[in-house]
């Protein structure tokens, strides 16, 4: 199934715009409960004003909140990105650490966010059980777990670590484009013949094709 999905989405990649580990870390924290497109809409201004941990650590929280307001939960998110910047400066000399044990000690950073940064900024394998990965892997029968930690562990056992980062990109792209939470586009799914959940959405190809989404940039 993975081979078919990978063939369908050969260009799958992280859709958060970023330059370097710090920008990716901040963007990933900001992406909670919103879309990558919305995050990409505010980060040029955010990083234009506060391009590194040192500057963001000293930022006025009200000014950061104003920039990231369109993302929702802006009070919490501003406190998180300012707080993690302070911790980077105080504990890591302003450098994003390349160990999950260190990353998860930063404010607002859990295993999912840490694995996004490790995989995409440092090339260190990790599984990122976001909402799309959880939904799609459960539908395809790759896991029966109900918690992110267990899903991460079970999916990790099925695939070679060298494939983990690309696997997550492919599954996320499939979840965003075809395997939606509501009305998945089953009739145009590249793994329809293999998927145990085939039929949860429209199976007619024409009807299903109308459900395919290409995320706006």
- What is the tens place of the pLDDT at every residue in 144-183? 998 999 999 999 999 999 999 999 999 999 999 999 999 9
Q: Is 8 annotated as a binding residue?
A: no
Q: Is the dihedral of CA 127, 136, 192, 16 positive or negative?
A: negative
- The residues annotated with a catalytic role in the active site are 112, 130
Q: Say what the pLDDT of residue 214 is.
A: 80
Is 179 labelled as part of a ligand binding site? yes
Q: Which of 73-77, 97-101, 142-146, 167-171 has the lowest mean pLDDT?
A: 142-146
- Other C-beta atoms closer than 10 Å to the C-beta of 108 total 19
With helix as H, strand as E and coil as C, how does 128-185 read? CCCHHHHHHHHHCCCCCCCCHHHHHHHHHHHCCHHHHHHHHHHHHHHHHHCCCCCCCC
pTM greater than the 0.85 cutoff: yes
82: its two tokens = 């300012």
Domain boundaries, the chain: 21-121, 127-209
pLDDT cut 90: percent of the chain above it = 98
Position 165 scores a pLDDT of: 98
Structural contact between residues 43 and 70, judged by C-beta atoms closer than 8 angstroms: no
186 is in an annotated binding site: yes
Residues 35-52: tens digit of each pLDDT: 999 999 999 999 999 999
Q: What would be the CATH architecture of the domain defined by 21-121?
A: Orthogonal Bundle (1.10)
Cα distance between residue 84 and residue 203, in whole Å: 46
- CATH 1.10.1670.10, domain 127-209, yes or no: yes
215 vs 138, which has greater pLDDT? Answer: 138
Instruction: Report how far residue 19's alpha carbon sits from residue 204's, in angstroms, rounded to the nearest whole number.
Output: 42
């Amino acid at each position: 199934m993975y081979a078919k999905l990978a063939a369908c989405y050969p260009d799958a990649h992280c859709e958060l715009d970023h330059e370097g580990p710090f920008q990716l870390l901040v963007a990933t924290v900001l992406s909670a409960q919103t879309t990558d497109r919305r995050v990409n809409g505010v980060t040029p201004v955010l990083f234009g004003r506060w391009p590194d941990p040192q500057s963001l650590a000293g930022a006025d929280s009200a000014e950061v909140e104003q920039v990231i307001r369109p993302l929702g939960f802006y009070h919490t998110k501003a406190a998180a990105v300012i707080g993690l910047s302070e911790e980077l400066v105080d504990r890591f000399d302003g450098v994003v650490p390349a160990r999950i044990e260190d990353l998860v000690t930063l404010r607002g950073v859990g295993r999912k966010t840490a694995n996004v940064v490790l995989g995409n900024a440092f090339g260190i394998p990790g599984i990122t059980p976001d909402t799309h990965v959880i939904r799609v892997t459960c539908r395809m029968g790759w896991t029966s777990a109900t918690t992110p930690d267990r899903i991460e562990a079970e999916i990790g056992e099925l695939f070679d670590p060298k494939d983990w980062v690309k696997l997550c990109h492919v599954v996320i792209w499939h979840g965003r484009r075809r395997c939606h939470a509501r009305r998945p586009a089953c009739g145009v799914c590249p793994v329809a013949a293999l998927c145990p959940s085939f039929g949860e959405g429209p199976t007619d190809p024409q009807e299903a094709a109308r459900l395919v989404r290409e995320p706006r940039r």
